Chains A and B, each alone.
Chain A
Amino acid sequence: AQTVTQSQPEMSVQEAETVTLSCTYDTSESDYYLFWYKQPPSRQMILVIRQEAYKQQNATENRFSVNFQKAAKSFSLKISDSQLGDAAMYFCAYRALVNQGGKLIFGQGTELSVKP
């Protein structure tokens, strides 16, 4: 069974600094997607960034980038120039392409606080 692990329950960063959130996953599939979702206090799930497993190039979205290490099954999120609005719960998630359901499997989440 596929699993997603986020080993950092909480992280803190100073405004304008850089922070990296860790995520590892376990799967025997070769085709899959990886995602980072942001959940602010409103509890809405907001997609931050996604990575297709077949792509070697790491995905980047403005201040957000990932370090995707397929062999190590690692998928970390780097937030550069952190802003107060980045404070939220961040979930790493995995989705296989093979099975019909296409469900997302989430990690436990990392609560990020940003200090002014």
Chain B
Amino acid sequence: EPEVTQTPSHQVTQMGQEVILRCVPISNHLYFYWYRQILGQKVEFLVSFYNNEISEKSEIFDDQFSVERPDGSNFTLKIRSTKLEDSAMYFCASLRERNTGELFFGEGSRLTVL
């Protein structure tokens, strides 16, 4: 069964460092998302991506964040200068078409900022 894959599963970084989280969505899906979950809290929407551009972003997704799909398969989330409060689980998700049902989630990338 097709699945969304994310790497790395866990990354530890120093405050101020750049981090890139990678995702490979399901191949025939058209919509891509990043979500964040701080430990013990709810899952928060960061950004959606469609047709090679951001279609929606939340207030959390400030200038420190960026996304791209450089090669038609990977979908990356970059945090330019990490802060302590960026420590969280980051989930990638994909959706085949707007009118289809559920988003398919990856297993998440745990980011720890020291």
Contact = CB atoms under 8 A, between A and B. Distances in A.
Contact of A91 (B31, B33, B42, B89): B42
Given A43-B89, A44-B108, A109 B56 contact: no
B75 interface: no
Interface string A96-111: 0101111111111100
Interface residues of B, number: 26
Contact of A97 (B98, B102, B103, B110): B98
Contact of B42 (A35, A42, A103, A109): A109
Nearest to B45: A103
Contact of A44 (B50, B98, B107): B107
Q: Please tell me the size bucket of the interface on A.
A: 20 to 34
Nearest to A47: B102
B34 to A, nearest CB: 10
Q: Say whether chain B's binding surface is mostly helix, strand, loop, or mixed.
A: strand
Contacts of A44: 105, 107-108
Interface of A: 33, 35, 42-45, 47, 50, 52, 91, 95, 97, 99-109
30 contacts: A33-B101, A33-B102, A35-B102, A42-B107, A43-B108, A43-B110, A44-B107, A45-B91, A45-B105, A45-B108, A47-B102, A91-B43, A95-B103, A97-B98, A99-B56, A100-B56, A100-B98, A101-B50, A101-B55, A102-B48, A102-B95, A103-B33, A103-B48, A104-B33, A104-B35, A105-B45, A106-B44, A108-B41, A108-B42, A109-B42
Q: Which 6 A-B pairs have the closest CB atoms?
A: A101-B56, A101-B48, A45-B105, A106-B43, A101-B55, A108-B42
